[in-house]
A and B are shown apart, each in its own frame.
Chain A
Amino acid sequence: MKTLWDLAANQSAVVDTIDTQLTTSVISRLEEMGFSEGQCVLCIRRSPFKGPLVVQIGDCVYSLEQSVADKINLALAS
């Protein structure tokens, strides 16, 4: 399945579910930060050497490291 980590710079996608490998408190924090089902996310930047990626979701810009970003699943279409 495609995750946020697979998103290339300047691509956008729709958030699907969050992998339950993350603890429930981290998942609910991500949801509070805007990463909930159906939200549109835009990748602003990829860093070299698998560094954190930068995404825009709603009215905020966040930087996430791989261990978090690859737990956020994206919906297939769009």
Chain B
Amino acid sequence: MERIVLVGKPNCGKSLLFNQLTGLRQKVANFPGVTVELKTGQFNQFEVVDFPGTYSLHSLSKDEEIAVEKLNLAVDDHETKLVVCVLDAARLERSLVFALQVQALARRNNKAVVFVLNMIDEVERYGLQIDADALQAELGAPVYALSAKTLQGVSEFKNALPELVAQTTVPDALTIQLGEQTKFIERARQLNAAYGIRSDVVLKNQNRIDRFLLNNVLGGVAFLGIMFFLFQSIFTWAQPLMDGTEAAIGWIASTVTGWLGAGMAADFLNDAIFGGVGAFLVFVPQIMVLTLIIGILEDSGYLARAALICHKPLSLFGLSGRSFIPYLSGHACAIPAIMAARTIESPRKRLITMLTIPLMSCSARLPVYALLVAVLIPSDATFLGVFDLQGAAFFGLYFFGIVMALVVSTLMNLFTRKRHELNDMPFILELPSYRLPHWKPLLQRVLNSGVQFIKRAAPVIFIVSLCLWTLGYFPQGAGLEHSLLGKIGHFIEPIFEPLGLDWRYGVAIMMSFLAREVFVGALGTMFGMSGAEENIAGLAAQIQADGLSLGAGIGLLLFYVVALQCVATVAMLRAETGKSRIAWGLYVGYGVLAYCIAALAAHII
């Protein structure tokens, strides 16, 4: 299929133009370990490929290197017929530097180039104009002025595309060769002086808003407000959707198993498929809501400001200002948080951020915390006479997770510093204009996040779910206590002894590898209670009567703060880092750390 390649500097409106050309059917190609994402869609009979926004053909990081390499390959490919360079009409100079480089690259490969002067609506809003015809003559390639937002000029561009693709001779106007670095910069400056609009006009609005949003006091308040809103929305908006999904899965499960009648097949479907895999689908709405909000923050331009505000404090722990949003999101779910870490400029800091995100207390830990806190602390106890002690304990657990993450990241930073100092990306951040986000790229992103999660995590979850179910189910009819899993639990009881826990807890911990919240239901089963998830207080009373020492209980709580008991997170880490070694190593590492902390707590208290 004939291919059109779309390139441009970040924030030039390339994603929106891509979406306007291709509609919603897109494919996303990811490359393991890097953030490079190539989006492919269809426009008429052509394949359109959207390349990541870049400032230059000279790469700074591994990610950029791969993006540039892919671009080189694509421009060289004989299927590629046309390279579209998207320019931000309001920032002609900056967007031309990269666009001119691409033009030179295309010319070397004998490929046609067309320039899109995007955001023309903004230029006109200032009451200004850009002489596209004269610019076209200077550039030696067609220039189309349009706005991907208001759609002005877009249909003309669409109509012209087939002809542009079909052209066989490439006009030869450009005289700068690839490699003549500074000439591109000079030429861009020259063209901007002749055709561009004045920068103070463009930046006036943005700087006015920044005076407020980056103000030491007001900006801080706004930041806290926005982050509080983000945090709240994950829980309050996502909750009904999650409940809905859960109810839907439950309904399908009961309908299907109803047809089958009782028996092993029904048990398998009910517990392994609907119970195990289904429990994961419940997280999809949460992941999508979180992606939506992060997307809004990014497209509106606020994400860059948030990174700026957080940079200094987080850099003390070896993190970037851009680590803040992933950390915050990690309190809902590690999956979207790990995906959000893609915006971090330095590969090393991105890795450190991803590896410490699982220490944030995600919502799957809530039921576990709720159960154990109810067991250990009487509900009427107060802390310092005013605070509810149970509430204070919850706060303490969240806080412990954050402290652990910062400690671990500081250590990781210290140990990896020497090796990577040289090829690390420094913190240079463009503050884009504030804009109202467009729903199309947002919707695309939200759908993608759900699909990616399912694609990456589902296979592993299915396998783990299958194994756990088999171990817990056979010998048939024996119940969990006498199942293979129960036997293993008895066998490895000595491992849990230093934690002050018996085999029942061991089995529940093993079961909860699928997802932490499974712990509650599994422990309930061990205590002869079904549906413990709905009756946490009842189970807590039973455990109290059974006698769980304070030290062991606190140890168990801390274990759940630290341990990476989530197969979906492991799968995601593997996909994002490109290395199973890192993902499973982290699982074992946090497991050992959690175990030691729990043993310590059981001993001291």
A interface residues, Cβ below 8 angstroms from B: 22-23, 25-26, 28-34, 36, 44-45, 47-52, 54, 56, 58-65, 67-68
Q: Does B203 make an interface contact (CB < 8 A)?
A: yes
Q: Which residues of A contact B192 (CB under 8 A)?
A: 58-59
Interchain CA distance A49-B311 in the complex, whole Å:
11
Interchain CA distance A72-B189 in the complex, whole Å:
20
Interchain CA distance A48-B219 in the complex, whole Å:
13
Interface stretch (choices B89-97, B102-110, B372-380, B573-581): B89-97
Report the minimal beta-carbon distance from B134 to chain A, rounded to whole angstroms.
Answer: 19
Across the interface, name the chain B residue whose C-beta is closest to A57: B199
Interface stretch (choices B41-49, B52-60, B169-177): B52-60
Q: Does B452 make an interface contact (CB < 8 A)?
A: no
Contacting A at CB under 8 A, from B189-204, are 189, 192, 196, 199, 202-203
Does the CB pair B214–A61 fall under 8 Å? no
Q: Given the known A-B contacts A52-B427, A59-B92, A62-B431, are A36 and B185 also in contact in the complex, defined by CB atoms under 8 Å?
A: yes
Does the CB pair A26–B94 fall under 8 Å? no
Number of interface residues of B (CB under 8 A): 42
Q: Which residues of B contact A25 (CB under 8 A)?
A: 58-60
Interchain CA distance A48-B94 in the complex, whole Å:
29
Does the CB pair A28–B56 fall under 8 Å? yes
Q: Does B428 make an interface contact (CB < 8 A)?
A: yes
Question: Which 6 residue pairs across A and B have the least CB separation, nearest first?
Answer: A51-B312, A59-B199, A65-B427, A59-B91, A61-B431, A63-B429
Q: Which residues of A contact B58 (CB under 8 A)?
A: 25, 28-29, 32
Interchain CA distance A59-B309 in the complex, whole Å:
22
Across the interface, name the chain A residue whose C-beta is closest to B216: A48
Does the CB pair B55–A32 fall under 8 Å? yes
Does the CB pair B55–A29 fall under 8 Å? yes
> Main secondary structure on chain A at its contact with chain B?
mixed
How would residues 475 to 486 of chain B score, 1 for a CB under 8 Å from any chain A CB and 0 otherwise? 000000000000
Q: Given the known A-B contacts A47-B308, A47-B312, are A61 and B430 also in contact in the complex, defined by CB atoms under 8 Å?
A: yes
Q: Which residues of A contact B206 (CB under 8 A)?
A: 61
Does the CB pair A52–B308 fall under 8 Å? yes
Contacting A at CB under 8 A, from B209-236, are 210, 214, 216
Q: Does B448 make an interface contact (CB < 8 A)?
A: no
Interchain CA distance A49-B314 in the complex, whole Å:
12
Report the minimal beta-carbon distance from B314 to chain A, rounded to whole angstroms.
Answer: 10
Interchain CA distance A39-B239 in the complex, whole Å:
52
Does the CB pair B56–A68 fall under 8 Å? no
Across the interface, name the chain B residue whose C-beta is closest to A23: B422
How would residues 401 to 445 of chain B score, 1 for a CB under 8 Å from any chain A CB and 0 otherwise? 000000000000000000000110011111100000000000000
